[in-house]
């Protein structure tokens, strides 16, 4: 049985593989997309995390819980 994917793992994945985003109001570019999303939009982060776990579970839906 493989290791369960944690939210910290997903945040690290986004930080390493995510492209920078620009915040509209300030014009500043955010490099650590995972940390920013987890802090400012927890619902979107949770949805992305669940999809990431589902895609990496190789069809074993019980492994996700």
Domains of the chain, residue spans: 7-58
Q: Which residue has the higher pLDDT, 22 or 45?
A: 45
- Closest to 14 in 3D by CA, of 64, 41, 63: 41
Surface-to-core class of residue 37, CB atoms within 10 Å of its CB (0-12 exposed, 13-18 middle, 19+ buried) = buried
User: What is the mean predicted confidence (pLDDT) over 26-51?
Assistant: 88
- Give the torsion sign (CA, 32, 38, 40, 45): positive
User: What is the mean predicted confidence (pLDDT) over 26-39?
Assistant: 83
Count the Cβ atoms, other than its own, within 10 Å of residue 53.
19
Its pTM stands at 0.72
Q: What is the pLDDT of residue 1?
A: 44
User: What is the mean predicted confidence (pLDDT) over 21-47?
Assistant: 84
User: What is the mean predicted confidence (pLDDT) over 28-40?
Assistant: 86
- SS3 label, residue 24: coil
């Amino acid at each position: 049985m493989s290791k369960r994917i944690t939210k910290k793992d997903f945040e690290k994945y986004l930080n390493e593989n995510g492209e920078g985003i620009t915040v509209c109001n300030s014009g500043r570019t955010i490099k650590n997309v995972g940390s920013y999303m987890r802090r400012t939009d927890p619902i979107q982060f949770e949805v992305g995390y669940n999809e990431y776990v589902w895609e990496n579970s190789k069809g074993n839906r019980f492994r996700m819980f």
